[in-house]
Amino acid sequence: MASGASAEHLCGFLGLPGVAFLRRGTVVRAAERRQLASPGVRRRAPASRRRERSTRTLVQEFSRRGQDAIDSRVPELVEEVDPGIVPGVSLRIVRYPHRVLRAPNEPVTVFDDALLKLVRDMFKVMYASRGVGLAAPQVGINKRVMVFNPKGDPRAWLSEVALVNPRIIERSEATEEGMEGCLSFPGVSGDIERSLMIKVEAMKPNGKRFQVKYQGWTARIFQHEYDHLDGVLFIDRMKPAVREQNRGALENLMRQVPESERAL
């Protein structure tokens, strides 16, 4: 993802002046005229050429910085059976019908470095799996923790949300059906009815308590992940006809999980 970014994009991402320099350099090159030096005389490069070289150096430097910044946030994607495998991260996506997805999830009582690491690793696994949300039980941790990013892009890190011990304190009567999928249900999708607005009370990973309202797409993501914390799966909310359409995919998933690991 990072390797394909242009120098102009990277400079803009970092808020650096590389874009302006790059554009000016382009204009200068288009306006240059070819000049021949006299035999035996070493001419100093024209001012426009010197500016162009300086521009190239700046853009290369900004590109390097931008690449480093993105690489620090974007985990390497390993294309294996499990697309959520991230080097250096032990968490793995748990697939239906594993019993951990139905098990009770305990509230978090200790806010320490271990919790911060869990949140960071959950984001890495979520991005590597190309998801927009992930709940702790989906990676085998039965704690009331969730992370999501409505944009699904690690470069849009300002949109990242990590919630601990969340609870819904208000929801709109208005609802809407929308297509959903789930990282624990590869190949399964369908329309699910959700509230258009919800008000949430939760804690940040540092233990600070707060309230927030989510609407539309963000509210849908939250409700999906919140269900996981209560042991509710999105197939539980599917209409019978929609679930029937996914019967083949669900049966295939069941064959992949040993009976000893399935929910009762």
For residue 106, give Cα distances in angstroms to 6, 65, 203, 264: 45, 41, 14, 20
Residue 31 has pLDDT above 90, yes or no: no
Residue 195: predicted pLDDT = 99
3-class state of residue 96 by DSSP: coil
In the chain, the amino acid numbered 215 is: Q
For residue 80 the two structure tokens come to 């294996």
The Cα 260–Cα 29 span in angstroms is: 69
Residue 91 has pLDDT above 60, yes or no: yes
> Are the C-beta atoms of 109 and 149 separated by less than 8 Å?
no
For residue 240, give Cα distances in angstroms to 30, 153, 237, 246: 64, 33, 9, 10
Tokens 């010197």 correspond to 50
Determine how many CB atoms are found less than 10 A away from the CB of residue 244.
12
Determine what percent of the chain is predicted with pLDDT higher than 90: 63
DSSP summary character for residue 234: G
**Which DSSP helix (H) or strand (E) runs through 38?**
none
The Cα 56–Cα 51 span in angstroms is: 9
In the chain, the amino acid numbered 231 is: G
Catalytic one of 170, 225, 244, 259: 225
Dihedrals φ, ψ of 25, to 5°? Answer: -65, -35
pTM value surpassing 0.85: no
pLDDT band at 224, cuts 50/70/90? Answer: very high
Pick from 20-29, 158-167, 194-203, 210-219: least confident: 20-29
Mean predicted confidence (pLDDT) in 183-205: 98
For residues 223 and 264, the model is more confident at: 223
pLDDT band at 46, cuts 50/70/90? Answer: low
Residue 87: predicted pLDDT = 86
The Cα 32–Cα 48 span in angstroms is: 7
**Which DSSP helix (H) or strand (E) runs through 166?**
strand 161-171
Residue 251 designated active-site: no
Nearest to 108 by CA among 166, 161, 164, 169: 164
Residue 222 CA neighbour count, 13 Å, CB half? 26
For residue 253 the two structure tokens come to 């998933």
For residue 164, give Cα distances in angstroms to 13, 35, 107, 191, 226: 29, 67, 8, 27, 11
Residue 134 has pLDDT above 50, yes or no: yes
In the chain, the amino acid numbered 131 is: G
Residue 9: predicted pLDDT = 37
Dihedrals φ, ψ of 21, to 5°? Answer: -60, -45
